[in-house]
Amino acid sequence: MNAKDLHRPAIRIFRSAELASEAVANVIAERIRSVPATTLGLATGATPRLVYKTLIERGRASWRGVRCFNLDEYVGLTPDHPASFACYMRDLLFNHVDVEPGRTHIPDGMAVDIDKAAKAYEQLISDSGGIDLQLLGIGRNGHIGFNEPGSAHDSRTREVRLTQSTIDANRRDFPEGQEPPATALTMGIGTILGSREIVLLATGAAKAEAVAAALQGPVNPDCPASALRRHAAVTVFCDQAAAARLDIEQLKGTGSVHAAA
């Protein structure tokens, strides 16, 4: 894909992480209200926590018709392990809304045949009609889901080896002295780009370099999030800290940035 085929994500910059998270929650809540049978792609990590909290507190829209696919799961963690993304999603969202358990899907990190489980997950997304709205966070190294630097932009759901920086960043979620798993099952970048609409939420100074690389750096596997410029319907919600390394004047010239509330 050459430069003229790339897209410019809309960028909305907020004074705080709270305001950015609230704006993302508004997008999701409005989507569920207007399209009750919508299919959401969901993320984990620290960043989306306030989005889910806000959605629960709003409580207006019913999740009964919503289908959810999570981006990733560690390989080797049982769904009841406190650091598993299955546990994260139950505790931070699914146990607090009326989503049907049979409509929540998380890659099976305990599968005996991981490759078979990866293909089955990819097929289930396709058989369900694809993802309408995918929520993403971003790793400090520009990863999306668990697609680490070097991941092909057309990659599909598969087992990936986590980088040391990702393991170090995610160790906080594990009991003292317990190492995160070395691999994970993740939607591929190509799988993510198959969503009809993508919302990326990035907050905090630690993400500033990744956000700048994703939005204004080269589009190549070195920065997985740069693949988002291959998609025509991406909106980036960030706070000023995460936007700090962006060349705002250059972006204003393209009409893609809105310094919001």
C-alpha separations of 245 from 110, 208, 242, 249 in Å: 39, 5, 7, 12
Q: Rule CB under 6 A: is residue 181 a binding residue for ligand GLP?
A: no
Tell me the three state secondary structure of residue 246.
Answer: coil
Retrieve residue 192's tokens. Answer: 């993510």
Q: Rule CB under 6 A: is residue 145 a binding residue for ligand GLP?
A: yes
Q: Count Cα atoms within 13 angstroms, Cβ side, for 222.
A: 5
Strand partners, 39: 67
Q: Rule CB under 6 A: is residue 46 a binding residue for ligand GLP?
A: yes
Q: Rule CB under 6 A: is residue 44 a binding residue for ligand GLP?
A: yes
**Among residues 141, 153, 173, 239, which one is catalytic?**
141
Least distance CB 221 / ligand GLP (angstroms): 17
Give the range of 102-110, 126-134, 138-146, 209-217 binding ligand GLP by CB under 6 A: 138-146
Least distance CB 251 / ligand GLP (angstroms): 22
Give the range of 19-27, 119-127, 136-144, 223-231 binding ligand GLP by CB under 6 A: 136-144
Rounded CA separation 21/204 (Å): 12
> What is the H or E stretch that residue 67 is in?
strand 67-70
Are 177 and 108 within 8 A, CB to CB?
no
Least distance CB 140 / ligand GLP (angstroms): 7
List binders of ligand GLP among 56-95 (CB under 6 A): 71-72
Least distance CB 45 / ligand GLP (angstroms): 3
Retrieve residue 258's tokens. Answer: 């809105």
**Among residues 22, 73, 122, 148, which one is catalytic?**
148
Q: How many residues are there in the chain?
A: 261
Active site residue 143: yes
